[in-house]
């Protein structure tokens, strides 16, 4: 006679190993990439958040502060703080919308465009350096997988 035995209880110690926990590994990777990127961007006087603002503002048409915040998935207060710093450094300029005086339109200055161009090159180089231990195909697969894992949240308008 065959006896049905309950499945073996997983050993909790096996799951306690940090090097197998996805959240832990993603956090470590993010910290390493953030450090690499920060060092690469330092000569340009911007950080990753500020560079993202410059990139969003580089589109074909000027954006309001609220539109830029929405594209980045940040709240208005955070956007104002980021823009204050960029404006203080002469990288962006704000002006009232001629169509809606309640809106502030934000545009890159010539210095902002140059900073964006040079800092983006540095960012791409830092990312290549970070991904260097992976072959090209594996790096591309990682990027696609992360995109798939985060694109649903972005489609809903939440940061992710």
**Quick one: three-class SS letters along 82-119?**
HHHHHHHCCCEEEEECCCCCCCEEEEECHHHHHHHHHH
List the domains of the chain with CATH numbers: 31-155 (1.10.10.10)
pLDDT band at 55 (very low <50, low <70, confident <90, very high): very high
Look up residue 23 and give its two tokens.
Answer: 């959240």
Q: For 122-138, how does the pLDDT look when each residue is reduced to its tens digit (9 = 90+)?
A: 999 999 999 999 999 99
Of 3-7, 26-30, 79-83, the range with the lowest mean pLDDT is 3-7
Question: Nearest 5°: phi and psi at 156?
Answer: -80, -10
In the chain the first and final C-alpha atoms are separated, in Å, by 53
| Confidence at 56, pLDDT banded by 50, 70, 90 | very high
Global pTM value: 0.78
Computed over every residue of the chain, the mean pLDDT equals 88
The residue with greater pLDDT, 59 or 54, is 54
């Amino acid at each position: 006679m065959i006896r049905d035995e309950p499945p073996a209880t997983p050993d909790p110690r096996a799951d306690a190993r940090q090097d197998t926990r996805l959240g832990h590994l993603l956090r470590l990777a993010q910290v390493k990439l953030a450090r690499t990127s920060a060092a690469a961007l330092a000569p340009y006087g911007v950080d990753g958040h500020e560079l993202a603002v410059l990139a969003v503002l580089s589109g074909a048409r000027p954006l309001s502060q609220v539109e830029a915040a929405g594209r980045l998935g940040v709240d208005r207060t955070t956007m104002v703080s980021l823009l204050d710093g960029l404006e203080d450094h002469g990288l962006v300029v704000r002006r009232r919308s001629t169509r809606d005086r309640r809106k502030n339109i934000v545009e890159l200055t010539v210095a902002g465009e140059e900073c964006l161009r040079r800092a983006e090159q540095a960012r791409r180089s830092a990312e290549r350096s970070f991904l260097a231990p992976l072959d090209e195909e594996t790096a591309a697969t990682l990027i696609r997988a992360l995109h798939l894992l985060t694109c649903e949240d972005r489609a809903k308008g939440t940061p992710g």
